[in-house]
Amino acid sequence: MTDTPPLLPEPTSLEPSPDRLVEINLDEKSLAARISQGARHDREVAIFDLLDENAFALDGRHEGPYKLMLGRLDDRLVFNVSNIDDKQLVTHVLSFAPLRRIMKDYFMICDSYYEAIKSAPASKIQTIDMGRRGLHDEGSKLLSDRLQGKITIDHSTSRRLFTLICSLYWKA
């Protein structure tokens, strides 16, 4: 008879990192008036995925978890960040200009993608989607660079935030 080690208790759930978003809102006045059903779906999925998993930290501060209100003011992007007690922590306002070219190209290829998925062959959809993902990655990287020294985010968070930012500027 061999001695078997006792079973280990199930791991208890670990406390999630405070460097994360627990709520994301888009300023209703900032949202594009008309967007396609596909773009609306992308926005909803981005919010759902962000709330499920993200990495978001205010540089030099440890007051998370955080709530984010994304909006726009004229031609600027506004990040209003508060804590879970709704105490306003910081507002970062970024120029939209550096993102303009990428977003314009991204919107055009998204329109092509949404049309293609209705009737195009799978190979064409896949080709368009590869281009769409490439522009999305480029926009996400630029967003991370623009936030450097203000807010630290990981790649997945940056991609999803880029999707939400696009929904603020989408021209139907």
Give residue 3's pLDDT.
55
Q: What is the DSSP string of 52-120?
A: HS--EEETT----SEEEEEEEETTEEEEEEEETT--EEEEEEEESHHHHHHHHHHHHHHHHHHHHHHHS
- pLDDT tens for each residue of 96-122: 899 999 999 998 998 898 899 999 999
Give residue 172's pLDDT.
47
Q: Is the pLDDT of residue 81 over 60?
A: yes
| Average pLDDT for 86-90 | 97
| Average pLDDT for 64-83 | 94
In whole numbers, what is the pLDDT of the chain averaged over residues? Answer: 88
Greater confidence, 104 or 33? 104
Greater confidence, 114 or 11? 114
